[in-house]
Amino acid sequence: MTALDVISLAAAGTELTRSVKIYQMMKTSSSRSVMEWLQGLTRPERKRLTEEIIRARNPGISNSGIKAAMRAGAYPRHFPGENIQRQLQRELTIAITNAMAFVGSGATGTIRNPQNLIQSGRYVIGTIQSFSLT
């Protein structure tokens, strides 16, 4: 159970880090609150968000590079509002689910009982050693 809890916490931590990056990207493109993001973004906000996404996918790209990619059709000038809404709702669901993994671990798992991690580690090492001796 401890191993599953640790794996769950690692996955949740990775996804929460991703959610924080998305939040920061949204915050740079719009001064609205999170609830207002879920209701919809204006065209200029969607354009700024599109540019932020392009920058995240292509680190170090210049403004002229972004404009050239848009003209070439590699990226849209702005993402459709419905797609952004769906993705934001999905990310919010993922963030809540991952936060619940931490809450569950804090209630009964590895976060609440970190000594279980050491005991489980000893058990695994002992099991591996017993197989290698035979």
Residue-by-residue DSSP string for 46-111? HHHHHHHHHHHHSTT--HHHHHHHHHHTSS-SS--HHHHHHHHHHHHHHHHHHHHHHHHHHHHSTT
Phi, psi of 100 (to 5 degrees): -65, -30
pLDDT in the model for residue 133:
64
- pLDDT value, residue 134: 55
Q: Can you tell me the mean pLDDT for 106-131? A: 76
pLDDT at 52 over 60: yes
Please state whether the predicted TM-score (pTM) of the whole model is above 0.85: no
Model pLDDT for residues 61-92, shown as the tens digit of each residue: 899 999 998 899 888 888 888 888 888 888 88
